[in-house]
């Protein structure tokens, strides 16, 4: 039996003249917490939609737990739970009704009602179980969407921007919940705009840009791949003047604070500090900040936030 949870093979997708996915090719192993990052319009959602059967690829194939998402769509969909990005809901039904309907779509009957009640409890929806979905807050609707995605106990859970627009408390709760699912063996695929979220949760990350895969590695290797780190200084004097060689490294300067971007190999910290002392800069405090995923992301994509 293959250890691959999701296998994406040379997937192409066009929207008119736009080549939205240009031969995307990678695998996600079973039990991984996998991050799929990219700027807006990079093709992340299109890829997820093809995986879930909400869109059709023009070329290539995707398998979920060895089942082709087109040829064996019933089996692949049984393996996959998707939390959509948009807060969609059916205004005719209550939370419990909707979960039971969703369970029925996947072929389950009364035997699954206990699991539905457990999901309602775990996601703190007990007070809202009988409430109409239209009456729920955005955060509550997000919890219901997660419950809906889990109602058939999928092996792979796709969270498409799950924490977009939710408050800090709920975001923390969702992090904990997804971590718990991951520990229980569920493969998690996360797309997010919050790069610190991906950095904290994901073991491996793929970065997609303009429909192409531009990076794929473990989070730690990706972070180490970034060639720069930041030297944050607090100086005794205000707005110190630096020699040209050092001034070229300054990325931020304000009153007593100075931030220099240094190449790991080409700019040894000792030499930089010597240069500062020679220039008469008196240093009160030093902090070295290792690169964050955001720095890596910006470096690879060469643009703004994901």
Partner 1 sequence: MNWRGFYTLFAKEVWRFMKVAVQTVLTPVVTAVLYLVVFAHVLEEHVQVYPGVSYTAFLIPGLIMMSVIQNAFANSSSSLIQSKMNGNIVFVLLAPISSLEFYAAFVLAAIARGVMVGVVLYVIALGFADLPVQHVGILLAFAVLGSGLLGALGLIGGIWADKYDQLAAYQNFLILPLSFLSGVFYSLYSLSPFWQWVSRFNPFFYMIDGVRYGFLGVSDVPPLQSLWVISLFFIVISLIALGLIQRGYKLRR
Residues found near partner 1 in the complex (CB under 8 A): 15, 46, 49, 52-56, 73-75, 77-78, 80, 82, 84, 86, 88-93, 101-102, 104-109, 148
Tell the smallest beta-carbon distance from residue 28 to partner 1 (Å): 18
Tell the smallest beta-carbon distance from residue 29 to partner 1 (Å): 23
Residue number with CB closer to partner 1 (105 or 183): 105
Tell the smallest beta-carbon distance from residue 68 to partner 1 (Å): 13
Instruction: For the chain, give the secondary structure using H, E and C.
Output: CCCEEEEEEEEEEEECCEEEEEEEEEEEECCCEEEEECCCCCCHHHHHHHHHCCCCCCEEEEEECCEECCCCHHHHHHHEEEECCCCCCCCCCEHHHHHHHHHHHCCCCHHHHHHHHHHHHHCCCHHHCCCEHHHCCHHHHHHHHHHHHHCCCCCEEEEECCCCCCCHHHHHHHHHHHHHHHHCCCEEEEECCCHHHHHHHCCEEEEEECCEEEEEEEHHHHHHHCCEEEEEEEECCCCCCCCHHHHCCEEEEECCEEEEEEECCCCCHHHHHHHHHHCCCCEEEEEEECCCHHHHHHHHHCCCCC
Residue number with CB closer to partner 1 (145 or 281): 145
Residue number with CB closer to partner 1 (148 or 178): 148
Tell the smallest beta-carbon distance from residue 43 to partner 1 (Å): 13
Residue number with CB closer to partner 1 (102 or 186): 102
Tell the smallest beta-carbon distance from residue 136 to partner 1 (Å): 14
Residue number with CB closer to partner 1 (142 or 226): 142
């Amino acid at each position: 039996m293959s250890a691959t949870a999701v296998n994406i093979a040379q997937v192409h997708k066009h929207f008119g003249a736009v080549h939205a996915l240009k031969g995307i090719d990678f695998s996600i192993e079973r039990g991984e917490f996998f991050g799929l990052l990219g700027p807006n319009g990079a093709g992340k959602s299109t890829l997820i939609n093809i995986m879930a059967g909400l869109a059709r690829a023009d070329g290539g194939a995707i398998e979920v737990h060895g089942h082709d998402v087109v040829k064996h769509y019933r089996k692949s969909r049984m393996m996959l739970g998707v939390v959509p990005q948009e807060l969609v809901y059916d205004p005719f039904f209550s939370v419990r009704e909707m979960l039971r309907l969703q369970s029925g779509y996947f072929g389950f009957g009364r035997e699954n009602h206990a699991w539905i009640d457990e999901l309602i409890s775990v996601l703190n929806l007990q007070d809202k179980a009988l409430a109409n979905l239209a009456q729920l807050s955005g955060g509550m609707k997000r919890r219901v969407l997660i419950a809906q995605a889990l109602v058939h106990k999928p092996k792979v859970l796709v969270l498409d921007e799950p924490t977009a627009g939710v408050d800090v408390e709920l975001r923390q709760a969702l992090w904990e919940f997804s971590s718990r699912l991951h520990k229980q063996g569920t493969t998690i695929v996360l797309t997010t705009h919050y790069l610190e979220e991906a950095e904290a949760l994901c073991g491996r990350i793929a970065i997609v840009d303009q429909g192409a895969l531009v990076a794929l590695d473990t989070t730690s290797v990706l972070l180490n791949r970034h060639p720069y780190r930041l030297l944050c200084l607090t100086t005794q004097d205000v707005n110190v003047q630096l020699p040209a060689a050092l001034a070229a490294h300054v990325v931020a300067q304000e009153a007593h604070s100075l931030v220099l971007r240094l190449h790991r190999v080409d700019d040894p910290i000792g030499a930089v500090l010597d240069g500062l002392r020679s220039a008469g800069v008196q240093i009160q405090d030093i902090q070295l900040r290792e690169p964050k995923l955001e720095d890596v992301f910006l470096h690879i994509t060469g643009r703004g936030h994901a």
